[in-house]
Amino acid sequence: MKRKNFVLISLSLAINSSLIAAPSKNGTYTDPSKVDSDYAIQGEYEGKVEGGKAGAQVIALGDGKFDVVGYPGGLPGAGWNGDKDNRVRGKGQTSDGKTSFEMENGLKVSLVDAGSGKVMHVTSDGEKVGTLERVVRKSPTLGMRPPEGAVILFDGKDHGADLWKGGRVSEDGFLMEGCTSKETFGDFKIHFEFRTPYKPKARGQGRGNSGFYAHGRYEVQVLDSFGLEGHHNECGGIYSTKAPAFNMCFPPLTWQTYDVDFTAAKFENGKKVANAKMTVRHNGILIHDETVCDHATTASPMKEGPDPGPVFFQNHGNPVRFNNVWVVKK
């Protein structure tokens, strides 16, 4: 992908009709085995364009409509250099079973039957210049086992909702949003896994919103921000403090990971003498490196102070699920 205005994308997908299901009344899907036909098109694609590595993210918007973002060098965290100015955006739509895109440069997109499906054909000035295949990435820390001495807060087995104030377990066995750990911590490292719902017609903060609050004070946003800009109030952002280095959000209904190293604020005689700090890895990629948190998040349940604090998973009216939650005290 040597040129920004590279693109004609042709996309052919074989869709299994047995996986198509009606959403809930508010257009929310929580079961990856029961989704709409757009879900098979949405996702990440990797390949080569004009001899160079390239990536693309296709975001479902409902009713057969899509956004698409092209990344020279590869996907975020897998080759793209983070320069937001070199991305290429476009719009797509499915009509009569065919999905086509038109990129921001005005070039048209035609559908080519690739046979196997899940393949993008890239053309420029009517000539094919590349191919990208759909991929499903997995966080390298997904399923990571807690080390000896870790405090296990949820594993769906021996450590369940009873360790949480407001703890609830979903029908499929995962911790639900809106809970606070009964145990509190000082400085700590935490690993947890989360899955946002698929809400194609939702936008912005209404699309799979929750949050992880260290000490119940400092929020790392949890949100379906797949393919978005990567602002402080999107997935991976330390809310109202700093945007992530990369938007590492995977598509909705994909299990994702946060690995956070948190150092609490320090107080002497009731006065803060050192701010809190966080290092965050999202799906294995460093997105914050000792980022200073000089204030508690506005919606935090606890004010800044010298006392240890809990782990809090926010309820923002979206069915976000959590799993494999454990803490190592520092």
CA distance 208 to 206: 6
- Residue ranges per structural domain of the chain: 9-135, 151-329
Q: What is the b/e burial string over 200-223, where b = at least 16 CB atoms within 10 angstroms of the residue's CB?
A: bebeeeebbbbbbbbbbbbbbbbb
Query: Residue 81: CB partners within 8 Å, gap ≥ 6?
Result: 73
Q: Is the pLDDT of residue 110 over 50?
A: no
Q: What percent of the chain has pLDDT over 90?
A: 71
Q: Is the pLDDT of residue 166 over 80?
A: yes
The CATH number fitting domain 151-329, selected from 2.60.40.10, 2.60.120.560, 2.40.10.220, 3.40.50.720: 2.60.120.560
- How far out from the chain centre does Cα 135 lie? 15
Please write the tens of the pLDDT for every residue from 52-109: 999 999 999 999 999 999 999 999 999 999 999 999 999 988 888 888 888 786 554 5
Asked if residue 36 lies in contact with residue 19, where contact means CB atoms within 8 angstroms, the answer is no
Query: Residue 106: CB partners within 8 Å, gap ≥ 6?
Result: none
CA distance 313 to 181: 9
